[in-house]
Amino acid sequence: MIAIFDWDGTLMDSTGKIITCMQLAASRAGLEVLDAKAIANIIGLGLPEAVRTLYPSIDDHLAEQLRLQYAQIFVHEDNSLCTLYPGVEEGLQRLEAAGIPLAVATGKSRRGLDRMLDMLNWQGRFAATRCADETASKPNPLMLQQLLAQLRSEAANAVMVGDTEYDLAMAAALEMPRLGLSYGAHEAHRLHAHKPALVTDQFSLVIDWILARAL
């Protein structure tokens, strides 16, 4: 079995930083500053898709300005730390010890994900990774199809773990097993709508499920 993880809101507690940076970017662009719930709704999408979802009526130039402002603030101005959720490091170690390949399917850019992997010294930890600027944004299942092709696996022999309905919807489109974490961006009832095998607020229970299925 291959264990595929979303990043923001699943492995890393970055939801608050994403919300703060998007609100500041909107303010600088002269746009309405949306509330935290509205911004949390787009976490998991690629950044261009997120901007268009939040501000559907703005023109292409303003959308690009907002995107650039957000990226600048996130990387260079907001110094708040993003940390791993409790149990993530230990859980990934358990999967590695069992010989289960790990992968990432994320709405982050390649540059953003690589920066996080470098920060954590996790280069080489994942057998494959796919980012939103390399493929179609979630909930399109293309990034999962590409990961499966790279790792020579079928959907039935993989599991998608995520905190948003976008994660679970793309897995459901491929009839891939899926697990929801309710501590991230989307409420549990939104995750349940995509019929995951498990919804929990404990990362360790996700690991238990994967190991029980794989071994």
> Which has the minimum average pLDDT: 41-50, 162-171, 183-192?
41-50
| Residues 194, 126 share a domain | yes
- Does residue 81 register a pLDDT over 80? no
Does the reported pTM lie above 0.85? yes
| Residues 175, 124 share a domain | yes
- Does residue 198 register a pLDDT over 90? yes
Mean pLDDT along residues 164-192: 96
| Residues 127, 22 share a domain | no
CB atoms under 10 Å from CB of 132, counted, come to: 25
Q: Which of 58, 77, 96 is the last residue of a domain?
A: 77
| Residues 197, 186 share a domain | yes
Name the band, by pLDDT with cuts 50, 70 and 90, for residue 215. confident
Mean pLDDT over the full length of the chain: 94
Report the share of the chain in percent with pLDDT over 90: 85
| Residues 157, 65 share a domain | no
What's the confidence (pLDDT) of residue 126? 98
pLDDT tens sequence across 14-73? 989 999 999 999 999 999 999 999 999 888 888 899 999 999 999 999 999 999 999 899
| Residues 116, 29 share a domain | no
pLDDT tens sequence across 94-136? 999 999 999 999 999 898 899 899 989 999 999 999 999 999 9
| Residues 26, 117 share a domain | no
- Does residue 82 register a pLDDT over 90? no
| Residues 93, 59 share a domain | no
What is the extent of the structural domain holding 22?
Answer: 15-77
Q: Which CATH number characterizes residue 22's domain? A: 1.10.150
| Residues 60, 86 share a domain | no
What's the confidence (pLDDT) of residue 206? 98
Q: Which of 54, 77, 100 is the last residue of a domain?
A: 77
Name the band, by pLDDT with cuts 50, 70 and 90, for residue 77. confident
| Residues 152, 54 share a domain | no
What's the confidence (pLDDT) of residue 75? 83
Tally of domains within the chain: 2
Report the share of the chain in percent with pLDDT over 70: 99
